[in-house]
């Protein structure tokens, strides 16, 4: 966040344990993302990995992550993007094409470790990509 701000980018971070001068102190699952608020949301692997874990466990927390995922999408301004790694194909495939466009960006070869492939085998679906989910500008 500091580096982005030093470059003149208006950036807001969110972390449970970050210093307050770096990010808002909070949790993905309880943060009020709002509506039409953010131009871009970048999520490192923690959110996606927790979502995948809960999805595979088929527990009630999977619904909590799905609700937060959709809240993040609704919080994007038209033309805004939610960008994350690893991908979440089990939810991306259900996004309405009239509202969202999901682009899969292949990961660099150096990132495709045996651990990544093992996770894909365990999950039973492709994960090794960055997802760019864009909220489309609806034309009337």
pLDDT in tens, 16-68: 888 888 888 888 899 999 999 999 999 877 899 999 999 999 988 999 999 99
- What digits encode the pLDDT tens for the residues 72-122? 999 999 999 999 999 999 999 999 999 999 999 999 988 888 888 888 898
Write out pLDDT tens, residues 82-91.
999 999 999 9
- What lies within 8 Å, CB to CB, of 28 at 6+ separation is 14, 43, 47, 68
Q: Can the peptide bond before residue 86 be classed as cis, meaning omega within 30 degrees of 0?
A: yes
Pairing assessment for the beta strands 129-135 and 100-106 based on DSSP bridges: antiparallel
Residue matched to tokens 């580096």: 3
pLDDT score for 15: 87
Q: What per-residue confidence (pLDDT) applies to 139?
A: 59
């Amino acid at each position: 966040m500091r580096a982005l701000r030093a470059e003149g980018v208006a950036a807001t971070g969110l972390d449970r344990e970050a210093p307050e001068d770096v990010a808002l102190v909070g949790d993905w699952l309880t943060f009020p993302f709002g509506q039409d608020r953010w131009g871009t949301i970048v999520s490192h692997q923690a959110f996606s990995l927790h979502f995948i874990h809960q999805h595979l466990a088929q527990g009630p927390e999977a619904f909590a992550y799905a609700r937060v995922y959709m809240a993040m999408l609704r919080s994007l301004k038209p033309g805004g993007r939610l960008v994350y790694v690893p991908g979440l194909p089990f939810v991306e495939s259900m996004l309405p094409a009239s509202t969202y466009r999901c682009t899969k960006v292949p990961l660099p070869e150096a990132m495709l470790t045996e651990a990544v492939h093992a996770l894909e085998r365990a999950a039973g679906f492709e994960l090794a990509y960055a997802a760019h989910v864009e909220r489309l500008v609806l034309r009337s």
